[in-house]
Amino acid sequence: MKIFHKYFLKEFFRYFTIILITLTALSMVAEFFDKAPEFYKEKPPFSLIIKYLLLQSPRAILYTLPFASLFSILITVGIASKWRETIVIKASGMSIKKAFSSFLILGVLMSMLALILGETVVPAATRKATWVRKVQILKESPRIIHREEALWLRGLDGSLIRIDGFVESNNRILKTSIFSFDQTFGLEQRIEAEEAEWIEGEWNLRNVTVFDFRHNTTSKHKSLISTSIEEPKIFREEMKKPKEMNFMELYTYYERLEKAGFKNLKYLVRLYEKLAYPSINFVMVLFGLALALNEKWGGGIRGAGLGIIATVLYWLLYSISISMGNTGMLQPWFAPWVSPVLFALAGGFLFLKIKE
């Protein structure tokens, strides 16, 4: 039995490596042509373009892992069926399920690998790629500095601004501090606001306290117009995206929004998606294995065709459930798990129905 396991695993990894490299390369080519207008306009060194694409590759690998796993298992088992190797296994009295059970363990390991990549390498590489594109290629200076508890930026009037967070859905910023300095960098004024909202082209600060150090006075206002902060566009462009954060970073930021009274469903769905997405690797291995070995569904090449159709249906259902979670039609914690759970149940059922 160990000989069969080693043989099929060796075949699997041979196809897996080829398919993963091919799909990743295609993703990088697509990324290159997507950014080609920027590259042509700015004419950065070729080495910088390669650096940007290499930094994008971990994210591409994360998203192509399930496809590589599925197609590799379908090809491996499909060829084994074509050359009657599965019949030899049955004729020798061995269980066809046990002969390929090692792939289920492999599927679990692939999911764990995807989880680790998604929490470590991918967010860091994606952030670095964004920085390379904006700063080194597009020659844009960073306008927002990210710190663990707040965002810092330079105001339009030269002031220094600290913001707890930005609520994209309704153009609001959380607790805001605006520090104004004189020419010798002495603090002249400090403005503290509980929140600010973008209304008719200007920021309306709410529940404001103004500390005037020049006249040693303090005043309070229910609302105050600020011309120091740039329009919301800067936050959409400069803020970290969910794909640039790991689970804890995204959780911390969402918690900050929630404590301030804002519940961003999109961020909450993305939070649970970071836990649900890696499971796709196991689901694809299980489903592909069940289809390829199930004679009732055709097995072999026909099973491979059904597997491709199943993949399309999987991503269609996954996209729909994520969209429903973003709009509140499904519970945010449930939306990312709809497809993995349904396809895992279907794959498990088909696997149990494989004839020995």
Q: Tens digit of pLDDT for each residue in 168-192? A: 777 888 889 999 988 778 889 999 9
Where the chain has pLDDT below 70, the residues are 1-4, 83-95, 147-149, 260-262, 295-305, 307, 356
Angle at alpha carbon of residue 94, lines to 91 and 97, rounded to 5°: 115
Radius of gyration of the chain (CA): 27
Q: Which of 124, 183, 187 is nearest to 160 (CA)?
A: 187
pLDDT in tens, 213-252: 888 899 999 999 988 888 888 887 777 778 888 888 888 8
In the chain, where the domains are located: 2-137+265-352, 144-229
| Token pair of 181 as six digits | 């300095």
Query: What's the confidence (pLDDT) of residue 257?
Result: 76
HEC assignment per residue over 43-90: CCCHHHHHHHHHHHHHHHHHHHHHHHHHHHHHHHHHHHHHCCHHHHHH
What pLDDT, on a 0 to 100 scale, did the predictor assign at position 88?
Answer: 67
The predicted structure's pLDDT at residue 20:
94
Q: Which residues contact 253 (CB under 8 A, 6 or more apart)?
A: 165, 240, 245, 267
Q: Rounded to 5 degrees, what angle do the CA atoms 303, 336, 257 make?
A: 160
Q: What is the pTM of this model?
A: 0.77
Q: Say what the pLDDT of residue 47 is.
A: 93
**pLDDT at residue 156 in the model:** 86
The answer to whether the CB of 240 falls within 8 A of the CB of 252 is no
For the beta carbon of residue 345, count every other beta carbon within 10 angstroms.
Answer: 11
Q: What is the predicted pLDDT for the residue at 321?
A: 94
- What CA–CA distances, in Å, run from 335 to 241, 275, 278, 315? 20, 12, 15, 13
Question: In this structure, are residues 205 and 225 in contact, taking their beta carbons and an 8 Å threshold?
Answer: yes
CA distance 348 to 346: 5
Cα distances from 245 to residues 63, 125, 201, in angstroms, run 16, 10, 30
Q: What phi and psi, each to the nearest 5 degrees, are found at residue 327?
A: -95, -5
Output the pLDDT for position 301.
57
The alpha carbon of residue 28 and the mean position of all alpha carbons in its chain are separated, in whole angstroms, by 17
C-alpha to C-alpha distance for 204 and 197, rounded to whole angstroms: 5
pLDDT at 148: 61
Dihedral-angle region of residue 23 (phi above 0 means left; psi in -120 to 50 means alpha; beta otherwise): alpha
